[in-house]
Amino acid sequence: MKKLLICMFVAILNIAAAPVYANDAHHQAADNQKSYSAKGEVVAVDSTLSKVKLKHDAVPELKWPAMTMFFNVADKSLLDTVKVGDQVEFEFVKVDGNGPSITKIKLAK
């Protein structure tokens, strides 16, 4: 629970920081399209809400510690290939005001 709160706090900080980039077209475009990679384990799949809960490793680029949290998925069909307990590699983008969104997810080798 504590880690989830930290994660939400980080998300809120990122939303608060967004206007800083709004004046700089270059940075805004780069940030919106940047995707981040991480590995983790599937803890829960909610295909109705297009969300997946992952126990993910640290994401140094975002200064995220390892934690368990929900991610949105860009396309619901991404969830067809994973199930609870799977070790996965995934990529996500950050969407202003709507949390991180997974764009790719596959079984880890």
Q: Write out the residues near Cu ion by the rule CB under 5 A.
A: 7, 67, 69
24 vs 46, beta carbon nearer Cu ion:
46
Residue 72 and residue 97 in contact, taking contact as beta carbons nearer than 8 Å: no
The nearest distance, CB 25 to Cu ion, in angstroms, is 29
11 vs 18, beta carbon nearer Cu ion:
11
The nearest distance, CB 93 to Cu ion, in angstroms, is 14
Instruction: Report which residue's Cβ sits closest to Cu ion.
Output: 69
The nearest distance, CB 83 to Cu ion, in angstroms, is 20
10 vs 18, beta carbon nearer Cu ion:
10
